[in-house]
Amino acid sequence: MKFEFIGNAGGIFHGSKGTKILCDPWIVDGVFEGSWFHYPPLKTKINDLQNVDAIYVSHLHPDHYDERNFKFPKKIPLIILDEGPNFLKKNLLKNGYENFIEIKDMQTVKFNEFNLTLYKPFTGHIYEESLLGNLIDSALVLNDNKTTAINFNDNTPTEKACIDLKEKFKKIDLAMLNYNAAGPYPSCFDNLSEKEKYDENKRILKRNFDYLCKIIPLLKPKSVMPFAGSYIIGGKNYKKNNYLGTTTWDKCAEYLEKNLNNELNIVCLRESQIFDVTKQLNEHKYEKLNQKEMNDYILSIKKHKYDYENDPMPNIEKMIDDIDVAKNKLYEKSKQFKITPETNVIINIEGLKINVLKGKDKKRTLECKMDNRLLRRILDRKSHWNNAEIGTHISFRRNPNKMEPDVHTIMSFFHL
- The model carries a pTM of 0.95
Backbone torsion region of residue 228, taken as left when φ is above 0, otherwise alpha when ψ lies between -120 and 50, otherwise beta: left
- Non-local (6+) Cβ contacts of 206 within 8 A are none
Out of 3.30.360.10, 3.60.15.10, 3.40.50.2300, 3.40.50.150, which CATH number does the structure's domain 2-300 have? 3.60.15.10
Q: Is 289 exposed, middle or buried (0-12, 13-18, 19+ CB in 10 A)?
A: middle
Structure confidence by residue, pLDDT tens digits, 334-350: 999 888 899 999 999 99
Structure confidence by residue, pLDDT tens digits, 274-296: 999 999 999 999 999 999 999 99
Distances (CA, A) of 209 to 15, 203, 243, 259, 321: 30, 10, 16, 9, 45
For residue 142, give the nearest of 167, 165, 160 by alpha carbon. Answer: 165
Domain ranges of the chain: 2-300, 309-413
Crossing angle for the helix pair 372-379 and 316-336, to the nearest 10 degrees: 50
Asked whether residue 128 carries a pLDDT value surpassing 80, the answer given is no
pLDDT at 357: 96
Give the three-state DSSP class for 376.
helix
pLDDT at 229: 82
Amino acid sitting at position 413: F
pLDDT at 123: 86
pLDDT at 126: 64
CA distance 416 to 409: 17
- Non-local (6+) Cβ contacts of 354 within 8 A are 320, 323, 324, 327, 346, 347
